[in-house]
């Protein structure tokens, strides 16, 4: 129940039948941190959260709250607040009673329960809805009740399981800011599960990227954004251009690789040798369209598809040699246009590929 | 467009009606309506009018006769004394078993089948079994005698208990199936949420599951009560039809087929229906005090 200074997950694993859902998750969470567990569906992130909450027993490993082992405790004795994807508000209780539930279970004095419930209601700005039932609230309001209910008893850890995935785009942005604001004002240690990289990057102090039950990378939003540990993470972090190729030359960190007949310069991430199979990764916004006069990584291509996206256009273009590029530009281009493209070699990341370079073998950075 | 003129009011009306759910699909209700009218509404109205036409006396004299005769009047109490506890026990016993059997586990289908089999037995077979098992020379008493727990057989048949057991055996599967479906209509995430908020299993049940289940329990109670209240075969076969299990349906039967006094039998049937309605009204009134909306589950 009490606050901790450090929560440690040690080799936490969970199997369902013969299927490994989560494999040896090691993670240390410092008090006050906002951690996002990020990954595509089925990557084990919700499993990890449920293991933390105590809703799912571990198959192996342990969880330590400072020097106390807690993975054997039932959920009600861990004292962690949890926000569920479906909100899981008690439909028969009013907004007030829903929020007060955790306080009532702790048998706090009536006066204190009332005071803290009112405080939480103010925090999520639901004062005028106190006596309504959850069914009478909009999705966003229900979400705020769920958050208030999970934080009102000042849990040592707040767990959030894709809390925004049931909201529409506009509300999602609002609630994202709200969650960030709450975290900053209350300083509650939070573990947040999402499949939305943008959400994770904007909210978290530290991100844990999972894939097939294994940690791929742990790092700050900046580290993940600029230097994904392997091409799977790059794929997930918005590197839409992933080209298979072969390394033709290595100069320390700078490598030359060939993909679909194009010779490109990039930065090596991981161990690469001449002749090795590689994956080249670039974000669409890192491909420049006014590339005329550029000598390094210059490509000429024909625009095939253009999508209007407000200030920018998202486009697909193809070189004569068949390399398909996703790009974003403010320039007005149209299908059929011939364009000169260029990629800054520092923005083109080259990853080892092939069976010997399964992502989990590269070792997650910590 | 020239032809659209006269059609327009008609099309307009069709839209208005469709908005209120009146369309051609309503014809699908016809078979059900025919059955309800032919097998329930007409017999009921016939019986009601018949009960006001006694062989002698004014329109209400048969009702007066029933209530003035303590032997007849007592059948209401006798029936309630059997039906209410039996229905209550059925519902209460179904709750923990159904609660335990939510969700998926190996062998669930087998357990459900075993619990539901008594439905298929019918009252007569159940009565036969009860006589063999609980009768004075049945296994149950023989075991008690052999282990010297009792000196003479315990009387569990041909009295109140025989009927009571029979009602529990035949009524439980209904109660169980109903409670199970109400329980699986409650989103299991709610209990998980309650657990993370610090509620142990007892309070998860009393604070979350039970309040959401109460309306379903009330409905289940009403249905099993109605089944038990109209008890007839077991009251004769394993009860004491001349004395403590002379239930109200038996009184109606005797009036109709032993004395051939149909108006009086109809009056008893009407009283029986009225008593049932009163109990159901009380239970449903209590039910409306609970939350009866969506419980988030798969329903």
Interval A55-101: pLDDT, tens: 999 999 999 999 999 999 999 999 999 999 999 999 999 999 999 99
Give the separation between CA B63 and CA B110, rounded to whole angstroms: 50
- From chain B, the residues in CB contact with A160 under 8 A are none
Give the separation between CA A96 and CA A281, rounded to whole angstroms: 50
A18 C-beta neighbours (distance < 10 Å), count: 5
Mean pLDDT score, A176-190:
90
The band of B296, judged by pLDDT with boundaries at 50, 70 and 90, is low
Instruction: Map tokens 């059929």 to a residue.
Output: A336
Which region among A342-351, B117-126, B240-249 has the lowest average model confidence (pLDDT)?
A: B117-126
Which region among A19-28, A355-364, B145-154, B168-177 has the lowest average model confidence (pLDDT)?
A: A355-364
pLDDT in tens, B18-39: 888 888 888 899 999 999 999 9
Q: Does B243 touch chain A (CB under 8 A)?
A: no
How many residue pairs bridge chain A and chain B with CB atoms within 8 Å of each other? Answer: 75
Q: Would you state the pLDDT for residue B10?
A: 79
Q: Does B206 touch chain A (CB under 8 A)?
A: no
Give residue A303's Cα distance to chain centre: 32
Instruction: Map tokens 């798969």 to a residue.
Output: B298
Going by C-alpha positions, the residue among A209, A355, A346 that lies closest to residue A268 is A346
Query: Distance, in angstroms, between A67 CA and closest chain B CA?
Result: 22
Strand A312-319's sheet: what is its strand order?
A287-288, A338-343, A298-309, A312-319, A324-329
Contacts 24+ apart (CB under 8 A), B15-21: none
Whether A167 has a pLDDT exceeding 50, the answer reads: yes
Nearest C-alpha in B relative to A150:
B197
pLDDT in tens, B242-288: 888 999 999 999 999 999 999 999 999 999 999 999 999 999 999 99
The band of A365, judged by pLDDT with boundaries at 50, 70 and 90, is very low
Q: Decide if A92 and B190 are in contact by the 8 Å CB cutoff.
A: no
Query: Distance, in angstroms, between A1 CA and closest chain B CA?
Result: 10
The band of B118, judged by pLDDT with boundaries at 50, 70 and 90, is confident
Q: Decide if B203 and A54 are in contact by the 8 Å CB cutoff.
A: no
Q: Does B271 touch chain A (CB under 8 A)?
A: no
DSSP-assigned states of every residue in B21-90:
T-SGGGGGGHHHHHHHIIIIIHHHHHHHHHHTS-SSS-TTHHHHHHHH-HHHHHHHHHHHHHHHHHHHHH
Q: Would you state the pLDDT for residue B297?
A: 58
Most confident range (mean pLDDT) of A284-288, A350-354, B9-13, B82-86 is: B82-86
- From chain B, the residues in CB contact with A53 under 8 A are 196
> Nearest Cβ partner of B195 from A76, A91, A150?
A76
> Nearest Cβ partner of B196 from A53, A89, A133?
A53
- From chain B, the residues in CB contact with A79 under 8 A are 198
Q: Decide if B195 and A106 are in contact by the 8 Å CB cutoff.
A: no
pTM of the model: 0.83
Cα-trace Rg, chain A: 24
Contact A92, A134 (CB under 8 A): no
Taking domain B73-287, whether its CATH number is 2.60.200.20 is answered by: no
Cα-trace Rg, chain B: 25
Contact B171, B227 (CB under 8 A): yes
Coil/strand/helix, residue B145: helix
Q: Decide if A135 and B294 are in contact by the 8 Å CB cutoff.
A: yes
Q: Decide if A79 and B212 are in contact by the 8 Å CB cutoff.
A: no
Query: Distance, in angstroms, between B90 CA and closest chain A CA?
Result: 26
Token readout for A22 is 């989560």
Give the separation between CA A322 and CA A301, rounded to whole angstroms: 9
Instruction: Map tokens 């699986």 to a residue.
Output: B184
Strands (E), A212-323: 214-219, 241-251, 254-259, 262-268, 277-282, 287-288, 298-309, 312-319
Whether A284 has a pLDDT exceeding 60, the answer reads: yes
Q: Would you state the pLDDT for residue A303?
A: 94
A16: β partners: A19
Q: Decide if B198 and A106 are in contact by the 8 Å CB cutoff.
A: yes
DSSP 8-state secondary structure symbol assigned to residue A290: B
- From chain B, the residues in CB contact with A102 under 8 A are 197-198
Q: Would you state the pLDDT for residue A362?
A: 39
Number of helices followed by number of strands (H, E) in chain B: 15, 0
Nearest C-alpha in A relative to B191:
A88
Q: Would you state the pLDDT for residue B9?
A: 77
Q: Decide if A81 and B203 are in contact by the 8 Å CB cutoff.
A: no
Whether B205 has a pLDDT exceeding 60, the answer reads: yes
Give the CA distances from residue A349 to residues A235, A340, B14, B59, in Å, rounded to whole numbers and listed in that order. Answer: 12, 21, 65, 98
pLDDT in tens, A214-225: 999 999 999 999
Q: Does B57 touch chain A (CB under 8 A)?
A: no
Mean pLDDT score, A42-58:
93
- Dmax (CA) of chain B: 99
A235: β partners: none
CATH numbers and ranges of domains, chain A: 6-226 (3.40.50.300), 239-353 (2.40.50.140)
Nearest C-alpha in B relative to A89:
B190
Q: Decide if A55 and B195 are in contact by the 8 Å CB cutoff.
A: yes
Token readout for A70 is 């807690």
Q: Would you state the pLDDT for residue A1?
A: 44
Q: What is the mean pLDDT of chain A?
A: 89
Chain A neighbours among B 142-201 (CB < 8 Å)? Answer: 187, 189-190, 192-200
DSSP 8-state secondary structure symbol assigned to residue B296: B
Instruction: Map tokens 């299990």 to a residue.
Output: B245
Query: Distance, in angstroms, between B20 CA and closest chain A CA?
Result: 24
Q: How far does chain A reach from its first CA to its final CA, in angstroms?
A: 28
A263: β partners: A258
Give residue B6's Cα distance to chain centre: 55
φ, ψ dihedrals at A150, nearest 5°: -80, -20
ipTM for the complex shown? 0.83
Give the CA distances from residue A74 to residues A78, A80, B283, in Å, rounded to whole numbers and listed in that order. Answer: 7, 11, 37
Nearest C-alpha in B relative to A54:
B196
């Amino acid at each position: 129940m009490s606050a901790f200074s450090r929560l440690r997950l040690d080799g936490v694993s969970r199997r369902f039948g013969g299927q490994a859902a989560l494999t040896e998750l090691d993670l240390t969470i410092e008090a006050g941190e906002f951690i996002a567990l990020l990954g595509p569906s089925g990557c084990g992130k919700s499993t990890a959260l449920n293991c933390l909450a105590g809703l799912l027993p571990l198959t192996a490993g342990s969880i330590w709250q400072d020097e106390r082992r807690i993975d054997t405790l039932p959920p009600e004795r861990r004292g962690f607040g949890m926000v569920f994807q479906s909100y899981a508000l008690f439909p028969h209780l009013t907004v007030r009673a829903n929020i007060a539930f955790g306080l009532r279970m702790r048998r706090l004095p009536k006066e204190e329960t009332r005071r803290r419930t009112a405080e939480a209601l103010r925090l999520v700005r639901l004062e005028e809805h106190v006596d309504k039932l959850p069914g009478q609230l909009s999705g966003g309001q229900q979400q705020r009740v769920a958050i208030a209910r999970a934080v009102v008893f000042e849990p040592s850890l707040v767990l959030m399981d894709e809390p925004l995935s049931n909201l529409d785009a506009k509300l999602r942005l609002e609630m994202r800011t709200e969650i960030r604001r709450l975290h900053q004002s209350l300083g509650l240690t939070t573990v947040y599960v999402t499949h939305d990289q943008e959400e994770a990057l904007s909210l978290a102090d530290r991100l844990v990227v999972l894939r097939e039950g294994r940690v791929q990378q742990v790092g700050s939003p900046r580290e993940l954004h600029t230097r994904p540990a392997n091409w799977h993470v790059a794929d997930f972090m918005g590197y839409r251009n992933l080209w298979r190729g072969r390394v033709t030359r290595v100069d320390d960190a700078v490598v030359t690789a060939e993909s679909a007949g194009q010779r490109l310069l990039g930065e090596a991430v991981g161990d690469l040798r001449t002749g090795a199979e590689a994956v080249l990764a670039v974000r669409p916004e890192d491909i420049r369209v006014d590339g005329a006069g550029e000598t390094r990584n210059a490509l000429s291509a024909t625009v095939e598809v253009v999508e209007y996206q407000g200030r920018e256009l998202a486009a697909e273009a193809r070189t004569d040699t068949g390399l398909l590029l996703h790009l974003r530009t403010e320039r007005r281009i149209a299908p059929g246009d011939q364009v000169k493209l260029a990629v800054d070699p520092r923005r083109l990341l080259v990853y080892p590929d092939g069976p010997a370079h399964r992502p989990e073998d590269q070792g997650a950075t910590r | 467009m020239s032809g659209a003129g006269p059609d327009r009011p008609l099309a307009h009306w069709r839209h208005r009606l469709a908005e209120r759910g009146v369309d051609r699909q309503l014809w699908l209700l016809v078979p059900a309506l025919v059955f309800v009218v032919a097998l329930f509404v007409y017999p009921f109205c016939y019986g009601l009018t018949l009960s006001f036409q006694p062989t002698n006396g004014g329109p209400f004299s048969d009702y007066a006769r029933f209530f003035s005769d303590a032997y007849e009047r007592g059948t209401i109490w006798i029936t309630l004394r059997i039906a209410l506890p039996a229905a209550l026990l059925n519902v209460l016993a179904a709750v923990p078993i159904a609660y335990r059997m939510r969700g998926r586990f190996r062998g669930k289908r087998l357990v459900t089948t075993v619990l539901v089999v008594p439905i298929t037995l019918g009252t007569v077979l159940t009565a036969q079994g009860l006589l063999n098992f609980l009768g004075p020379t049945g296994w149950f008493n023989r075991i008690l005698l052999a282990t010297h727990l009792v000196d003479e057989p315990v009387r569990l048949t041909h009295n109140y208990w025989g009927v009571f057991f029979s009602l529990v055996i035949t009524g439980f599967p209904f109660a169980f199936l109903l409670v199970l479906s109400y329980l699986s209509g409650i989103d299991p995430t709610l209990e998980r949420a309650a657990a993370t908020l610090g509620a142990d299993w007892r309070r998860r049940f009393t604070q979350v599951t039970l309040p959401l289940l109460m309306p379903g329990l009330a409905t289940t109670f009403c249905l099993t009560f109605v089944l038990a209240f109209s008890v007839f075969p077991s009251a004769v076969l394993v009860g004491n039809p001349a004395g403590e299990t002379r239930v109200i349906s038996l009184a109606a039967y005797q009036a109709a087929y032993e004395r051939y006094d149909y108006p009086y039998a109809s009056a008893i049937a009407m009283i029986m229906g009225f008593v049932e309605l009163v109990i159901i009204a009380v239970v449903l009134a209590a039910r409306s005090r609970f939350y009866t909306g969506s419980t988030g589950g798969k329903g």
